[in-house]
Amino acid sequence: MSCEDATATSAATLSQYGFINTCLKSLVVEKYGEEVWEKLRLQAGVQDTFLTFEVYKDEITMQLVDKACKVLGVPADMVLREFGEYFFEFCKRSGYDHMLRTLGGNLYEFIENLDALHSYLSLSYQEMNAPSFRVEKNEDGSMHLHYYSDRRGLYHIVPGIIGAAALDFFNIEISMEIVNQAEEEERTGKKEHIVFLVTQNPVLPYKERKKYSSSPPDLADSEKQSETQLNNEDPEKAKYTIRDRENLVCPVKKSHWKTIRGIITLGRGKLLRGFDPVYPKSLWIDTKTFCNGLPFHMVFDKELRVKQAGVSIQKIVPGLQTMGICLDQYFSIVHPEVPFTISSIQKFINSQFVFQTRREMMPESWKQRPMLELRGQMIWMESLQCMLYLCSPLLRTLHELEERQMHIADIAPHDVTRDLILLNQQRLAEMELSNQLERKKEELRILSKHLEEEKKKTEALLYAMLPQHVANQLKEGKRVEAGEFKECTILFSDVVTFTNICAQCEPIQIVLMLNTMYLQFDRLTTVHDVYKVETIGDAYMVVGGVPVPVSTHAERVANFALGMVIAAKGVENPVSGNPIQIRVGIHTGPVLAGVVGEKMPRYCLFGDTVNIASRMESHGVPSKIHLSSSTYQCLKYKNFEMTERGEIEVKGKGKMHTYFLVRNKAATENEIMGRPGKDTDSGHESVQSFQEGRTETTPSSHQTVNQTQQERDQTTAIAMKYIDSPTDAQNSLKRRNRAKNADLTGKTYDSKSYGSLHGNQHSDDAPCHPNRERAKPATEEPQIRNVRSNFCNLL
């Protein structure tokens, strides 16, 4: 049967306790891992935890079984059989070990009493809808097991459970073969009826197997001779003798020869095997005493006519005082669901029978009460051709006793129903307490899960403001010491004519423009693994090699700058409708980094390197990437195309030799932008070149290009690969850069890098303010320039 068939044929209206689903989860987690269970339950759309005493629909279990078949790639019958084996072990671990062991001394008795076990458990688990079992012994020692269930498609669980019990309790291996599968024919109601042929093979202990395998030839010969002699004398006795030797599971009738041999070996525990009860010649009990001593019993014949009834049941059902009435007029059979006939009762004679009174036949005073149920045993009296029903009231709690206006005194003193009601009352109270504790535990688990999610959100926000290692030290109450980085690359960018744009637009338009641009820049920081230091107005500051030193810091910042210019072309100027233009400046050198302040702390960079990088941006050209000499030296041998700008006058620094970064000759636009797929543009130069002679496009084409780029940028950022292993060429280049920086700034940084500042730099936004001065172009208004200068000096 396929998984779909098992799911489709299940009874969707049925329900069962969470114990079953918990067992299924435990099986998957123990044998396949937490990841498989998580995948399975998400596909099934069910919760992660099940309460033991909570009632769940069968659909949940069937969905889990169906998804387990698909996820594990295993047929449904194998999944259900494995679940049956595990369910037996799970029940043992859950405290039902001793209860299961005491059901019977052999497999036949064990199966025969499974219904009695389910009947007992139903006292506490009132919503339980358990299957039913009936077993028949065959002459060859095999058995026919009849399985009845309202749930269709789950019968493969039975061989798993019965096989595990037979091996564990009785040390035998069994094989179960389906010999008949049909709709219910023997009982009322539409139940699935499966007939299994059960054959068994003893599993002898190692010592016994060795004894039989190494037995002397003369002993084996004597056994063969005795069997041959017995066959010649009495073939019937020989058949029973051989069967008893092979059969260790189903008890069969022993031969007279074996009984005598058991009596002879008295003292070795064989006498009980030949026990034969003794009966009196006449029954020494009068009718009145019998009906009073067994207040709940009935005797009826083949036509269901009542011949005798106990005094208490007569009190509850007054119609029974009229002898000769039909029993089915006053009672209906609740379990097993069979027709109310003698033949059906005889077929299920070993099952527990539950009768329920019919409301229409009860007195007026009883019609408002719940109907009384009786549970007991059927005994066929061959000599009288009558059936004896020995029963007791089926009452679970004292509340049910009061509802029926009955008392403990109505039950015979020898009847264990008295103790069962009181004990079950206590057990139900314990179950309710356990259920409450389990619910509180689940609530705490959910709250803990939500707390963990909120904690992750808080940490993500904190790590977006500060480097992770810095944030962790601050959370622990530690002081974060400043550290010096001998070499890093700093980038500054700003928007060309930003002051004019602000003067002609609404504030919300400026905010939307900057937010659109900065979101794309932030995404690029993930692609190239650089650290975003801060944003002030239209200024955007990024550093490579801080707070985690890497040898490719200049390459990362250069590729980031190329991506910035490409991304800026997708942002619309709210005044003109054309793409905005940005200036980018980059410089490489040493810095000092540390945390400033306690309230809203900032991770700041200090040093002349910050000032020079700011000068590269302020003295730059629109849509160009302006490089200092030290950055040019770092990129000189790294597949970057650069052009010389020459010497320019830099405010506060005098004359400096600078360069322009044109493109990366070894990377495509998609790689630089962190987008998947191949580059659709023809050649790298058409993509990354930023010469002034670039052809202008119409606003409508700009809008189409912007929309396409925004759609691309919404995809997951793909990190660009860098090799950070230092080489001799890089080390020599670093030495040259340090020398040039020393000549340029007049300062030498030879202290060691602060190791404690190394950590994870995957932070989207960690604002701090550098100790720098910015010289804006002459087109900027003096008032705005003064505000920026004062704000920088203040911080």
Which residue type occupies 120?
Answer: Y
CB atoms within 10 A of CB 410: 19
Continuous segment of H or E residues that includes residue 516: helix 507-528
Per-residue tokens: 529: 């693994």
Contact 49, 56 (CB under 8 A): no
Per-residue tokens: 619: 């003295």
Inform me whether the pLDDT recorded for 102 exceeds 90: no
Residues β-bridged to residue 585? 492, 626
Structure confidence at residue 765 (pLDDT): 37
Structure confidence at residue 429 (pLDDT): 79
- Phi, psi angles (nearest 5°) of residue 339: -60, 145
Q: How far apart are CA 35 and CA 29, in angstroms?
A: 8
Contact 646, 613 (CB under 8 A): no
pLDDT, one tens digit per residue, over 543-594 is 999 888 899 999 999 999 999 999 999 999 888 888 999 999 999 999 998 8
Banded pLDDT at 121 (limits 50, 70, 90): confident
Q: How far apart are CA 428 and CA 438, in angstroms?
A: 15
Structure confidence at residue 629 (pLDDT): 93
Per-residue tokens: 686: 């058409």
Query: What does the pLDDT average to over 675-689?
Result: 51
Least confident range of 49-53, 183-187, 226-230: 226-230
Structure confidence at residue 686 (pLDDT): 38
Helix, strand or coil for residue 744? helix
Which of 418, 400, 420, 399 lies closest to 410, judged by CA? 418
pLDDT, one tens digit per residue, over 487-518 is 999 999 999 989 889 989 898 999 999 999 99
Residues β-bridged to residue 376? 353, 391
CB atoms within 10 A of CB 8: 13
Least confident range of 63-77, 330-344, 577-591, 773-787: 773-787
pLDDT, one tens digit per residue, over 29-42 is 888 888 888 888 88
Continuous segment of H or E residues that includes residue 511: helix 507-528
Contact 212, 204 (CB under 8 A): yes
pLDDT, one tens digit per residue, over 58-96 is 778 888 888 888 888 888 888 888 888 888 888 888 777
Asked if the domains at 293-414 and 479-673 fall in one CATH topology, the answer is: no
pLDDT, one tens digit per residue, over 711-735 is 544 567 888 888 874 443 445 445 4
Inform me whether the pLDDT recorded for 455 exceeds 70: yes
Banded pLDDT at 249 (limits 50, 70, 90): very low
Helix, strand or coil for residue 15? strand
625 vs 227, residue with greater confidence: 625
Per-residue tokens: 731: 């080390």
Q: Where are the beta strands (DSSP E) in 416-482?
A: none
Structure confidence at residue 715 (pLDDT): 61
Tell me the DSSP string of 474-493: HHTT-----EEEEEEEEEEE
Helix, strand or coil for residue 181? strand
Continuous segment of H or E residues that includes residue 387: strand 386-393
Q: What is the mean pLDDT of the chain?
A: 75
pLDDT, one tens digit per residue, over 465-486 is 788 878 888 888 777 777 889 9
Structure confidence at residue 235 (pLDDT): 54
CATH topology of domain 293-414: Beta-Lactamase (3.30.450)
Inform me whether the pLDDT recorded for 210 exceeds 80: no
Alpha helices in 203-304 (DSSP H): 206-213, 217-233, 235-246, 256-264, 287-293
Q: How far apart are CA 426 and CA 165, in angstroms?
A: 30
HSE of 107, CA atoms in CB hemisphere, 13 A:
32
Which of 629, 653, 644, 664 lies closest to 739, judged by CA? 629
Inform me whether the pLDDT recorded for 256 exceeds 90: no
Structure confidence at residue 717 (pLDDT): 80
Helix, strand or coil for residue 292? helix
Inform me whether the pLDDT recorded for 632 exceeds 50: yes
For the chain, percent of residues with pLDDT exceeding 90: 21
Least confident range of 605-614, 622-631, 657-666, 668-677: 668-677
Contact 107, 114 (CB under 8 A): no
Tell me the DSSP string of 552-606: THHHHHHHHHHHHHHHHTTSB-TTTSSBP-EEEEEEEEEEEEEEE-SSS-EEEEE
788 Cβ neighbours under 8 A, 6+ residues apart: 536, 537, 774, 776
Continuous segment of H or E residues that includes residue 642: strand 640-650
Only one residue has tokens 């993500």, namely 460
Query: What Rg do the C-alpha atoms of the chain give, in angstroms?
Result: 44
CATH of domain 479-673: 3.30.70.1230
Residues β-bridged to residue 646? 658
Which of 412, 349, 409, 343 lies closest to 378, judged by CA? 349
Burial 785-794 (b: 16+ CB within 10 A, else e): beebeeebee
Least confident range of 50-54, 60-64, 346-350: 50-54
Structure confidence at residue 233 (pLDDT): 52
Contact 629, 616 (CB under 8 A): no
Q: How far apart are CA 557 and CA 563, in angstroms?
A: 10
Least confident range of 34-38, 296-300, 614-618: 34-38
Structure confidence at residue 189 (pLDDT): 60
Least confident range of 119-123, 577-581, 646-650: 119-123
304 vs 337, residue with greater confidence: 304
The domain covering 101-204 belongs, at the CATH homologous superfamily level, to H-NOX domain (3.90.1520.10)
Structure confidence at residue 464 (pLDDT): 78
Structure confidence at residue 790 (pLDDT): 37
Structure confidence at residue 367 (pLDDT): 72
115 Cβ neighbours under 8 A, 6+ residues apart: 132, 133, 336, 351, 352
β-strand pairing of 331-335 with 353-357: antiparallel
Domain ranges of the chain: 101-204, 293-414, 479-673
Note the maximum CA span of the chain. 134
- Phi, psi angles (nearest 5°) of residue 295: -65, -20
Q: How far apart are CA 350 and CA 464, in angstroms?
A: 73
Inform me whether the pLDDT recorded for 681 exceeds 70: no
Inform me whether the pLDDT recorded for 22 exceeds 50: yes
Only one residue has tokens 């001593």, namely 293
Contact 263, 274 (CB under 8 A): yes
